[in-house]
Amino acid sequence: MRVVKLSEIADLKNGHAFKSKDYIDYSNTLNCRMSNIRPDGKFDLSYNPKYLPDHFYDKYESYRLHDDDVIIAMTDMANEPKILGVPTLVKTNGKNVLLNQRVGKLEYDRKAVSFGYLNYVLNREIVKNYYKQFAGGGLQINLGKRDLLSVKIPLPSLSEQKAIVAKLDRAQRLIDIDKAMLAKYDQLIQSVFLEMFGDLRSNEKGFEKLTIDDISEKVTDGDHKTPNRTETGIMLLSARNIKNGYIDLEEKVDHIPQEEYDRMINRCLPEFGDILISCSGTIGRVTKVNIHEPFNMVRSVALVKPTKEKINSTYLESMLQSEYLQSEMTKSANTSSQSNLFLGPIKKLPVVLPPLGLQKEFEKNINRIRVEKSKTENSLLKSEALFSSLVQEVFG
């Protein structure tokens, strides 16, 4: 199979550096920014829309985007790039759309390559790793046109591309079905919560209102010193490992020796059923501790030890994940450089406290849903494994 540089079959057109002062409240003309490329690679013009004056559509005619134009993000996080270099189809929904800086319009030879094939070949882990080298040790990867187009890709004939895309599309559909089912389970959990406890902001059911400090034995965060890390030992987690509803051990996990762990537990001893909150960078991800292995944390993770006689940890987890508490955390965050949620504001977060019996009934309902959800999660793992094996089979 022939291997080519992307630059041999494509060119990249940079966007315009529109200014924040250009934005207006509403118009028919939108600025296409990186945030409109979602982590799943889909285009979403409605996500945090930024409107420009309608006359800009004529003024900046050379930056117009149309349906099925292909764009690529040129900036992403270095440690976990999600959209960098991933081709995305534009859908204007009848709006005027203009291309912003750090988003490139990919103009490719349609006689040599199809969009479907480009989408799969550029989404591979080997491509993401190639682009990571341009991070230069910084927090972000900022690709220039030459960098982005320098990646090498296998290029079979169009007929072979069509067969590859059809095979991978079939496997991808299985993944999409499982993900859609998981989303339905999450929606069901939210609807059960709303039915049992009502809208928390208005507290329509008149439950007692307290604070996190009132219902906790302890509120603290991870170690404030730089711990001595080792290749193996006891797990040391950070905010990147805290996801909504689970601890992600597939992310990079550091380790510490036993003596460091023994020192750190004087400040912070996470145990099964405690609540963890990411409090630096991406704040507000919440999970109940659902593993029994010992671990500790750095200061980017906060720990809440709920008083069991007052509050159920499953209820507290769901309450902190609610729109109301998420907005309260966002309002309480310090954003001078990067977002940080400190212990003082965490302790003051509002708690809507239903009777403990009702909280435990909620936990039983949620556990039944989660049993079914776990079956779909296992199915998703198998679907993803099948897809990965096919990618390896196709591209080597």
User: What are the tens digits of pLDDT across the range 244-261?
Assistant: 999 999 878 999 999 999
- Are residue 192 and residue 315 in the same domain, yes or no? no
User: What are the tens digits of pLDDT across the range 300-330?
Assistant: 999 999 999 999 999 999 999 999 999 999 9
**Predicted confidence band of residue 78 (pLDDT cuts 50, 70, 90):** confident
> What is the per-residue pLDDT for 134?
84
- The vertex-47 CA angle with 46 and 48, nearest 5°, equals 110
336's CB contacts (< 8 A; 6+ apart) are: none
> What is the per-residue pLDDT for 41?
86
- Are residue 212 and residue 178 in the same domain, yes or no? no
Residues comprising the chain, all counted:
396
- Are residue 7 and residue 55 in the same domain, yes or no? yes
CATH number for the domain including 225?
3.90.220.20
- Are residue 285 and residue 300 in the same domain, yes or no? yes
> What is the per-residue pLDDT for 281?
83
- Are residue 222 and residue 309 in the same domain, yes or no? yes
Mean pLDDT of 52-62: 97
Contact 353, 205 (CB under 8 A): no
Which residues span the domain enclosing 23? 2-155
SS (H, E, C) 292-321: CCCEEEECCEEEEEECCCCCCHHHHHHHHH
- Are residue 144 and residue 173 in the same domain, yes or no? no
- Are residue 345 and residue 381 in the same domain, yes or no? no
How many structural domains does the chain have?
A: 3
- Are residue 194 and residue 252 in the same domain, yes or no? no
- Are residue 193 and residue 293 in the same domain, yes or no? no
Mean pLDDT of 72-101: 90
> What is the per-residue pLDDT for 138?
73
* DSSP reduced 3-state for 3: strand
Q: What is the DSSP string of 68-82?
A: T-EEEE-EEESSS-S
Instruction: Calculate what percentage of the chain has a pLDDT beyond 90.
Output: 85
- Are residue 228 and residue 151 in the same domain, yes or no? no
> What is the per-residue pLDDT for 396?
81
Per DSSP, 24 falls in state B
- Long-range contacts of 37-40, Cβ-Cβ distance < 8 Å, separation of 24 or more: 37/71, 37/73, 37/83, 37/86, 37/88, 37/103, 38/83, 39/82, 39/83
What is the value of pTM for the model shown? 0.79
Instruction: Calculate what percentage of the chain has a pLDDT beyond 70.
Output: 99
382's CB contacts (< 8 A; 6+ apart) are: none
- Are residue 250 and residue 389 in the same domain, yes or no? no
Mean pLDDT of 250-276: 94
- Comparing CA positions, the residue from 312, 290, 305 lying closest to residue 363 is 312
- Interhelix angle for 158-197 vs 356-395, to 10°? 180
Is the pLDDT assigned to residue 164 strictly greater than 80?
yes
Give me the amino acid identity at 195.
E
- Are residue 346 and residue 222 in the same domain, yes or no? yes
> What is the per-residue pLDDT for 297?
95
Cα 135 versus chain centre, distance: 20
> What is the per-residue pLDDT for 194?
96
CATH number for the domain including 181?
1.10.287
